[in-house]
Amino acid sequence: MSDLDQFRQTVNAWLEENCPPSQRIPITREEQVWAGKNKTFPSSDAKLWFERMRDKGWTVPEWPIELGGGGLDEQHAKILKEEMKRLGCRTPLFDLGIWMLGPAVLEYGTDEQRQQHIPKIARGEVRWCQGYSEPGAGSDLASLQTRAEDKGDHFLVNGTKIWTTNADKADWIFCLVRTDPDAKKQEGISFLLIDMDDAGVSTTPIELISGESEFCQTFFDNVKVPKANLIGELNKGWSVAKSLLKHERKLMAEIGGDTPGPSFSPIQAAIEYIGLDQSGRLKDIGIRDELVRHEMAFRAIGLTHFRSFEERMNGVADNNVPLIMKYVGTEESKRKEEVLMAILGHRALGWYDDEFNVDELLTNRGWLFSKALSIAGGTSEVQLNIIAKRVLGLPD
């Protein structure tokens, strides 16, 4: 038996023993355990599952053991992910610190910064939010105007960020700020970590079309930020930002694996709401064609992710794949939601009405939320421009 096969057996046995049955069913948004100094647990089982995974280092399985991680390489971490998915194990901890900031600090941070921030992220002690976009700098992020002036032992930050997810619940924010207003756009930007409790930091929630308000506008009014909170070199924050965006795009490309949504798949929904003809085929030919197209695309995306993983293992990875897959993955997610809406018809139009069941209400909200997927992490239009120039070598 190979080392990987042995590890798979060990992981499976550990998960069977340590993941409570209640943590092996589809998760709802209300049941997600988010990091933070004020984090709450929806149940004692959720708390137990989090603590066991935290103590094992598997909230961040690929991070160094000495910093609170599991010390696994990519192959072993992939097996852990596969076995968790096979058993239906829930993600024990949610946080932008895990998905985005942590990898950037591990790559660009000093030893002191890693020791200060990485273990707290691994243990879920701090909740992070992202301060990138601004009212006048969205897709053209390099036009950002939030400014950090050098005041000797600290920076003085003034400006505003928008679409800062859960900023009103976060403990810290990682920000792109302009530290050299006279430099070219990308060359005068730095990457700062800011405590949300600092004087001068405030947030205002933004209501979304899905009825939620997870986005906020964040304001900085003469906020003093220690120089020790600078990640990477001064005025070189764009390099850190690009590295972090790779992780965000990878997350966006893989979105849906643990995202609350209807309990049925598009095919199951079609059988239930449209029905089969006497030959056992879906009655609606148009929907049938759409489902076939979606299933083929979904399978192709999965195979491409697997191929990309195999290439990385063999040292021949194409760094453009996450860029492409972010576009392909989020666009297909939108099309999936459009198909579900068409399948359910008027049953997908409920909002709070008791006449609609939970799956029908989630279908409506999922369709609305899917519109954000092709904006977050880089709009599809901008992604296509970058792919055209960087990957295909087309002229500007």
Of 244-253, 283-292, 359-368, which has the strongest mean pLDDT? 283-292
Q: Tell me what pLDDT residue 366 has.
A: 85
pLDDT over threshold 70, residue 250: no
Report percent pLDDT > 70 for the chain.
95
Q: What stretch(es) of the chain map to CATH 1.20.140.10?
A: 261-391
Q: Write out the CATH class of domain 128-235.
A: mainly beta
- The SS3 call for residue 151 is coil
CA atoms within 13 A on the CB side of 254: 16
| Between residues 301 and 59, the one the model is more confident about | 59
The strand pair at 128-131 and 147-150 is best described as unpaired
Q: Per mean pLDDT, which range of 79-83, 332-336, 361-365 is the poorest?
A: 361-365
Q: Tell me what pLDDT residue 224 has.
A: 98
Query: Sorting pLDDT into bands at 50, 70 and 90, what band is 256?
Result: very low
Torsional class of 387: left (φ above 0), alpha (ψ -120 to 50), beta (otherwise) = alpha
Q: Tell me what pLDDT residue 36 has.
A: 97
Q: Tell me what pLDDT residue 260 has.
A: 60
Report percent pLDDT > 90 for the chain.
60
3-94 maps to CATH 1.10.540: yes
First to last CA, the chain: 53
DSSP state of 363: H
pLDDT over threshold 50, residue 383: yes
Q: Tell me what pLDDT residue 21 has.
A: 96
pLDDT over threshold 90, residue 212: no
Q: Give residue-wise pLDDT tens across range 128-183.
A: 999 999 998 877 888 899 999 999 999 999 999 998 999 999 999 999 999 999 99
Record the tokens describing residue 338, joined without a space: 């459009």
Mean pLDDT, rounded, of the chain: 89
Instruction: Find the DSSP H helices in the chain.
Output: 3-18, 44-56, 74-87, 96, 102-108, 111-122, 237-253, 266-273, 285-313, 321-344, 358-373, 380-386
d(CA 162, CA 204): 9
| Between residues 101 and 213, the one the model is more confident about | 101
Which amino acid does the sequence have at 388?
A: A
Q: What stretch(es) of the chain map to CATH 1.10.540?
A: 3-94
Q: Per mean pLDDT, which range of 96-100, 107-111, 203-207, 313-317 is the poorest?
A: 313-317
Query: Sorting pLDDT into bands at 50, 70 and 90, what band is 259?
Result: low
Query: Of 62, 214, 248, 360, which is the active-site residue?
Result: 248
Exposed / middle / buried, residue 345 (Cβ in 10 Å: 0-12, 13-18, 19+): exposed
pLDDT over threshold 60, residue 31: yes
| Between residues 263 and 222, the one the model is more confident about | 222
Q: How far out from the chain centre does Cα 127 lie?
A: 14
Q: What stretch(es) of the chain map to CATH 2.40.110.10?
A: 128-235
For residues 68-72, give the mean pLDDT: 96
82 is a catalytic site residue: no
pLDDT over threshold 60, residue 184: yes
Instruction: Please list, residue by residue across 317-332, b when 16 or more beta carbons sit within 10 angstroms of its beta carbon and e when fewer do.
Output: eeeebbbbbbbbbbbb
261-391 maps to CATH 3.30.565.10: no
The answer for residues whose C-beta is within 8 angstroms of residue 40's C-beta and 6 or more apart is 33
Contact 149, 166 (CB under 8 A): no
pLDDT over threshold 80, residue 41: yes
Q: Tell me what pLDDT residue 116 has.
A: 97
**Phi then psi for 211, rounded to 5 degrees?**
90, 0
Query: Sorting pLDDT into bands at 50, 70 and 90, what band is 44?
Result: very high
Q: Tell me what pLDDT residue 140 has.
A: 80
Count of Cβ atoms closer than 10 Å to residue 115 Cβ: 13
